[in-house]
Structure 1
């Protein structure tokens, strides 16, 4: 029996590869001779580079860059053999790099993301896969573009400061020194949100609160991002502010589309394509996937839902092991042959996270035992 184990990470408890090992450990107690293929998955957010490194190899490059508050830190990205770089923006401008008190999207900058991109371009890559997710910024890529050589000026021709708040003063931009390799490089942006740049569903309104913005700051930032898009349009750049995903990562999606001619795609679809997921599923007799919480969003570009859709095309049975199940409609549960929560007993959330590996292992063993029992029943 060929078993493909392809879960997402269980947030705050286990990385995707650890989930793979837990499932394999449980299943092998019942089916020790099965042919197991481990394929940890991601949806373009944090952990995507580690997944691709496990599957495809490559080498890590560590770079000294600036964090969201322009403090020097070490960040890394992945270089693949086919002249491809994989960059997670959270490495340089992630919310996890700040304390709660430090969160302020009026001043936080995506400058470090531009530094990572510039370093990859200097390495000679021809393709850059960028994972959007987990950003602390709301600057529409202002900092990133500055790091790539573009300058932004106010009415007195002074250079703008960092942060989304500074965009209110923008009157002119200058691309004279923009990195020459940008337009010669293919940018693929893995994005799992569909928000536009501005408005009620825009970057500032939807994601600003978690980045520390007050209601008044949210309103101000929404106006500054709209102003930025207007100035870009005046300078001849195509207006992408209403395109789905433009508001991702505080407007980095907009900047990458407008200035780097990037294509925004589903994060899961990007990872699935790079890892040749469809072929692995077609070759398997059984697919086991999972994520920390299986809910209505799982079918909207997340790993488990995406895998179930591919598995149905090849008529490969698919099992989902998750921490918990919440609010799934019958149509969504029917995407899977089996859905099994793994939490074994009521306890504190800290203990649930701590015992995640053990819980998944036990759940996998019980599912395997049920399969074996089914094989015996005439």
Structure 2
């Protein structure tokens, strides 16, 4: 019997690779003869670049770049073992985690450092870039990233603007004459798991601006600026992408990637599963075990569990899910293709205890589900 183990991380307690180890520990206790294939997954957010780098036999590249407030910082990205694909997370250079709480101000922050990572990847001759855009500290529509790649943004008098959120409303011209010509020679795929438009009440500023430090007045200014950027960019590039699902991701970086990089936006988990050849692994499995820290309705909208459930359902392979918090109904689990779902918590406990004991809790829950599954099949 072949079991595929393919979990996401349990945030705050176990990385995806550690979840793999814990699940494997439980399997071996329950059914030592099982053949196990373990592969850590991610949904396109934090940790995705590291996982894809490891899966492809690649290595990490350290680069000195500008952080969201234009200070030098160290960032890394990955390159595949065949030297052809770069795996970049914008949060490494332009992420909210790089700022103290009192430093958060999306009128001042910029994605310039993300553009520097792309430039470094181009310098190394890659043919494809996979860019994750979760966890941003910015609402600049991607103009910082674009400036690092040679674009210039000017006001009505022709003065070059600082590439940050506060400049969006002043943009009158976009000069693309010095844009890096190598952008036309690479394929760029953006991992994007939100569907917000660029501007408006459901757009980047109103929905995500407050968590980046924007007060109501700043949110309104940023929203107006993103709408202005859309008008100018639509004129320059000949297409309006502002209402495309994901245009508002990462403070409008989704739209910026479409305009300035001619990129493709894709669901993050789809990208990861494609790179990791998960469809073939599922087809060859008798049981798939996955998990993440919390399973709720958001999980069913595009996380690792949802992506695996769709594959398993299509191939009639049972899918078992272990998690810390289980907040979906049996009907929701059945509808999406989950065969079995359980919380790993085996008694009342506080968060610290659950996180400290996570490895053993996952192992024990896996032991129980594997015994049940194979007992029903007459194997154990």
TM-score when normalising by structure 2 = 0.96
* 2:343 aligned partner: 341
Query: Do the aligned residues in 1 keep the contact of 2:53 with 2:87 (CA within 8 Å)?
Result: no
1:370 to 363, 372, 379: 372
Hey, what does 2:232 align to over in structure 1? 231
SS of residue in 2 equivalent to 1:235: helix
**Could you report, residue by residue, the CA deviation over 1:158-199 in whole angstroms, capped at 9, with x for unpaired residues?**
221232111111122211211110122111111111111011
Change in Cα spacing, 1:298 to 1:236, as seen in structure 2 (3 Å) is closer
Q: Does the Cα contact within 8 Å between 1:296 and 1:328 map onto a contact in 2?
A: no
What's the CA shift for 1:365?
1.5
CA separation in 1, counterparts of 2:110 and 2:60?
A: 24
Q: Once the 2 structures are TM-superposed, how far is the Cα of residue 376 of structure 1 from its aligned partner?
A: 5.1
State how far apart, in whole Å, the 1-side matches of 2:215 and 2:38 are.
44
Q: Which residue of 2 aligns with 1:263?
A: 264
Contact 2:289 2:319 survives alignment (8 Å)? yes
Separation of aligned partners in 1, 2:370 and 2:302: 28
Match of 2:142 in 1: 141
TM-score between both structures, scaled by the size of structure 1:
0.96
In the TM superposition, residue 377 of structure 1 has moved relative to its aligned partner by 9.8
Conserved? CA contact 1:237–1:258, under 8 Å:
no
Query: How large is the RMSD of aligned CA atoms in angstroms?
Result: 1.6
**Runs (4+) off by over 4 Å:** 375-378
Q: Does 1:280 align with 2:281?
A: yes
Question: Mapping of 1:191-270 within 5 angstroms?
Answer: 191-270=192-271
Most deviating of 161-170 and 222-231: 161-170
Q: Which residue of 1 aligns with 2:15?
A: 15
- CA distance in 2 between counterparts of 1:300 and 1:236 reads 31
| TM-aligned CA distance change 1:329 to 1:109, over 3 Å | farther
How far residue 327 of structure 1 moved from its aligned partner, in angstroms, is 3.9
How has the CA–CA distance of structure 1 residues 329 and 3 changed in structure 2, closer, same or farther, with 3 Å as cutoff? closer
Q: Distance in 1 between the 2:281 and 2:223 partners? A: 43
Choose the corresponding residue for 1:352, options 333, 349, 354. 354
- Residue 305 of structure 2 corresponds to 304
Any residues of structure 2 matched to 1:44-83 within 5 Å, and which? 44-80=44-80, 81=82, 83=84
Task: Write the distance in 2 (CA, Å) between the matches of 1:351 and 1:101.
Answer: 31
Give the corresponding residue for 2:32.
Answer: 32
1:170–1:231 contact (8 Å) kept in structure 2: yes
Residue 298 of structure 2: SS of its match in structure 1?
Answer: helix
TM-aligned CA deviation for residue 333 of structure 1:
3.9
CA distance in 2, matches of 1:31, 1:198: 53
Does the CA contact (< 8 Å) of 1:106 and 1:164 recur in 2? yes
Deviations 1:131-169 (A, max 9, x none): 110111000001101111111112232221232111111
Match of 1:94 in 2: 95
Contact 1:333–1:339 (Cα < 8 Å) also in 2: no
